[in-house]
Amino acid sequence: MPGTPDAVGDSEQDLHADLRGQLACASLHCHFRVHSRPELRGFCCVECSRCRAARHGPRCQKVLAPVRARRADPSWLPIAGEMLAARELEDALRTLAPQLALEGPERQPESILGGGLSFSNFLDVPLNHDEVGEEGARIQVFFREVILVENLTKRFDLPVLLCLPAGLGIPATRPTNCQDGWLGCALRKHKVVLMDPRGTGRSSRVAPQTLRGRTAKEQADYVQYFRADAVAGDCEAVRRRLGVEQLAVLGEGFGSLVALMFLSRFPRSVRQLLLCDGLMLAEVEGPEDICHRMYRCALRGNRWYYSRYPEDVGKVWEIVAHLEQIGGVPLADGGRLTPRRFLTLGSLLGDLAGPEVLHWLVSRAFVELRCGSVQLSTEFVMEAARATDVGAHPLLWLLGEPTYCGPRTGASRWAAHRMMSYGCLCERFDYRDALKRNEKPPILFTGGTVYPWFADDMATLASLADASEILASKVDWPPLLDVAKICDARVPITAVVDASDVRLGIGPDPLQVSKMLGDTCRVFTLEELHQQGLTEGVLDLLLTCCSSVGESCIRVVGGGNDHEFRDRVAHPLRRFTKAEMEETALRHVRHSVGEGPGWHQMYQAFQARVRLGADEDILPGGALCSGHTLSVPLDHAQPSGAHISIFFRQVVSAADAKSAALAAAFGRQAPPPPPRLLVLVGGPGAPATRPLSGSAGWLSPLLHDHRVILLDQRGTGKSTPASAQTLQGWTPEEQAAYLENFRADSIVEDCEDIRRFLEVDQWSLLGESFGGFCALTYVSKHPASISAAYLTGGLPPVFTAGPDEVYRHTYQRVIARNQLYYARYPADVAQIRAIVQHLEDKGGVLLPSRGRLTPRRFQLFGAYLGSEFGSEALHVLVEDPFVHVGGEAELDDLFLARVEAGLVFDVQPLYWLLHEAIYCGPRSGPSNWSAQRVLSADPQLLAHFDHRAALADPSAPPVFLTGEMVYPWFSEDFAALQSLGPAAQRLAAKTDWTALYDLEALRNTTVPVASHIDSEDIYVDVGLSKATAKLLGARCKVWVLDECRHSCLSDGTGAMLKKLLSMVRPEISGAAPQRHSAPVPGTSSASDGTLRGEVWRPRTSETGHLLPGLRPRFR
């Protein structure tokens, strides 16, 4: 069956026959669609009813002729049959391209998941658009044309939508999926153009590297041409290159200013403007007025944040006091995390989930060492430094204030900094004054403002300090916006703005906008979005409600009163403070019972019930989240020994919380609560997912029927951390003895302690990847505590004698995934070879964390190839890794920063320390760095991953990337792991590991198990997982899927998780189990037609047992 493990061995001839049956002639009557088979995933195919009936006619034979010639080429990359089919399909599409008017060899299409094509374009434009002629300096601007395959035949008839990104110095979005999000909405009726504004992305970059060697005056003279007016000139050049008369322009944030600038300068080139989170009238007010508005918005953001998380008042005060006392924390890149830099995290308050992210970051800022002293955690310092570093996008700092300057405003002269030095702003934002007070008042975060001291605290900006002063003192800025021309153009403008935008301060008075822009502008103030940004719902609102000239120009939508426009916005999330939530609940009680006798007593009882504690939170989307910390033994076999803490969250739907609170208020018996479900995430060494919303992602379907428990597994998150920092001062023997207690058997005993704390008889388990390993350990050791187990990408190999057998299988999967990746992105063969060659010649490159990026470390990015959109992410990473400085190529600092952030071993060392130990038991012996041994012992296997051999022979296969394997040399290349190297060696040599699974208990288990596995999973081999499923017997249902890659939780819609849950529910309820038969190839196993897969069962089913009733208790 296609997409199942049984189809892995399909012959090459069968795949070619299947391919020929689905290719079509070049008829305009062809119907295009996306293929679902894994070997063709992401590629485009076509169907023609006429050719399909005749299989393949003469015109189809003509299409396939160059494909067959390609196969006969001796330079063809030797890859497997399914990869060859994918490559043939792409070649066939390119053969069709001339007949579909896709001319130009430099614009070969690149496939995108969801049935889209992307065409890359580089355009030479003048540095200064006011200079006429070819003698002036020129730069490059990069843009992509994205179109659905089904729209290829009408490519020239589709309107063009030019999309401008949100931030100054930020490149355009990289398309990875053409079906979801705002891009999918835009592509239905448009050809979308994604432009990297000059200075960003693949356009000519502005970075400290590219400006090296120039004087400060030369740097300033160059950077001054990267404002919105110059970007607007580039938009006009893109329009001419596309050969269209008019563009629809979509601007988000800063992109809205560029869009208005484009309309002001080239009114005949614009058909309509769609603006999201931005209606900036720069120069009309000037930088001081804009900064003053941004400060006001920052005050509102701080007020909202501290009212939502009052416990963070003291935590932020302690962090700032600690940083002030030690003079800041020195960073590995040469900068410092100072109080003033830490407080710029206030820009997060402008994101949809920003307050939650800031709260999560602040809540785990400190760690306690063995000696009893307290320090800022390494993870906190790294995350805070990355979130506040603008060195990767220096244009935000250099032109952040000059963006609003013009002939009438004069120089910016660091307006935000000057405003902080006098008046009430100085009193409100002066953290030093707050530190002097004994009552620990709230210390306010700043917003999106920029300051001259960035060059002191951020090492990457130090070389641009003098240039920034020149730009801040520049007086003769050219004009930006001409409001009169915008009004005269009579171009429809539709804008969605947030009046409390912390970053940009661009919430204008709609009446003021109406007066200035006239009746062509329609403004929607959607306060309930709270900087949700550009989403599918917002874009649908903009496209649907774009005003015509003379229509009503103002529409204020807020407070949930305008249902017509609320329904157009996907998931409108109204944010509530704790006080608002409590007041809303109290009003509900008063409305329910009136003011008759006893009302006050009920009111007081309910008021006491709904008061939220410090560890409780109301999530956007309607869910109550409560945190709990338990003390558990380090070694559960010695309960009187050392103890550690574990942290977990309980997430309850708003309806569940409301019914329990109302029952308590009226003295009634609460209804039986929903069953609890414990979520165990992948790893080892990863904390639980932070719930940021109760109505989005995979958490939403769980909350319909469960109270969800999110556990920070021991050693991670807010549980007692296990890191190089917390283990400093320990001997290697002490470190190894401590860390051996962090495997699945200990995690399972922690879960039992949580279950007893919650007074729950039974609960369900959801295990993802390594979390599935823990769940099966739980099933084998405590089956009476589990009502059902759901595993996604985590049905462990319980029969293996150790990690050696696991890696022999997964190495082969990694090789196949490399082949498919290079077949899909053939240009990346040379790109990755160039990166590895550069690293080999330089002996590695120093990273900001002081670790080294070596060829072997870069090869670890093969782990991306097993995750959803991982291939796309890797392609984007290596798309443009070099910058040229002084005629020589260097790895871009932005590329190095992304590489460092892409591998988390620095902050999650347990993965390296215990990854091989999760496969060890009494019969396995020591792991002894199994992945390294297996690779070295097999010359044929080693040849695939030997980068030196690949570099030595240009005709050799490309450089293959490794997978999730760990190696002993991590302590050499990762700076944070150096102190743990001796302990890692001792763990690798440990022989007396305890058994993680009771095979006899698993064979006789009565616990229903539903498992999703990927037919080509590079992390957990499908064959070994099927062997485990046969051991579990009739109680285990396996869903083999080829569209998700490893985990159902990566599906943002929750549809796949709903399918997984439905596989066991009949058995839990005691009903006759549903019969799952393998679907016919080409049909969908899901009712909505979106999922394809096979439910595979080893034996006949048995009836399930009833879920015991849970106590009606709400904690």
Residues acting as catalytic residues: 769, 992, 1046
Q: State residue 644 phi and psi, 5-degree precision.
A: -130, 170
CA-CA distance, 920 to 925, in Å (whole number)? Answer: 7
Query: What's the rounded Cα separation, in Å, for the pair 797 and 794?
Result: 9
Instruction: Determine the Cα–Cα distance for residues 803 and 993; give it in Å rounded to an integer.
Output: 13
- How far from 1068 is each of 447, 785, 1074, CA to CA, in Å? 51, 14, 12
Contact between residue 279 and residue 523 where contact means Cβ atoms under 8 Å apart: yes
Give me the sign of the Cα torsion angle 800, 804, 805, 807. positive
Q: Which of 844, 925, 873 is nearest to 1050 (CA)?
A: 873
- How far apart are alpha carbons 734 and 479 in whole angstroms? 67
Report the C-alpha gap between 218 and 32 in whole angstroms: 52
Give yes or no for a cis peptide into 684 (omega within 30° of 0): yes
Q: Name the residue among 314, 305, 315 with its Cα closest to residue 356.
A: 305
- b/e code 688-701 from CB counts within 10 Å (16+ = b): bbbbbbbbbbbbbb
Alpha helices in 212-311 (DSSP H): 216-223, 228-242, 254-265, 287-308
Q: Dump strand ranges (E) for 978-1078.
A: 1009-1014, 1036-1041
Residues with Cβ within 8 Å of 975's Cβ and at least 6 positions away in sequence, in order, are 332, 849, 850, 851, 906
Judge contact between 673 and 656, C-beta under 8 A: yes
Q: How far apart are CA 5 and CA 815, in angstroms?
A: 16
Task: Tell me the chain's radius of gyration from C-alpha atoms.
Answer: 30
Evaluate whether 208 touches 893 at the Cβ level (below 8 Å). yes
The answer to whether 772 and 1046 are in contact (CB under 8 A) is no
- Residues in Cβ contact with 196 at an 8 Å cutoff, skipping those fewer than 6 apart: 141, 142, 143, 171, 172, 202, 203
3-class DSSP assignment, residue 613 = coil
Residue 227 CA to residue 406 CA, distance in Å, equals 11
Beta bridge partners, 76, equal none
The dihedral over CA atoms of 819, 824, 826, 831, expressed in degrees to the nearest 10, equals: -90
> Among candidates 347, 345, 403, which has minimal Cα distance to 168?
403
User: CA–CA separation, 241 vs 236, rounded Å?
Assistant: 9
Q: Count other C-beta atoms under 10 Å from residue 737's C-beta.
A: 17
Structure token pair of residue 799: 């029969």
Largest Cα–Cα distance of the chain, in whole Å? 92
How many CB atoms are closer than 10 A to CB 105? 5
Closest CA to 259 of 282, 290, 292, 285: 282
DSSP per position, 907-957:
T-THHHHHTGGGG--TTT---SSHHHHHHHH-HHHHHHH-HHHHHH-TTSP
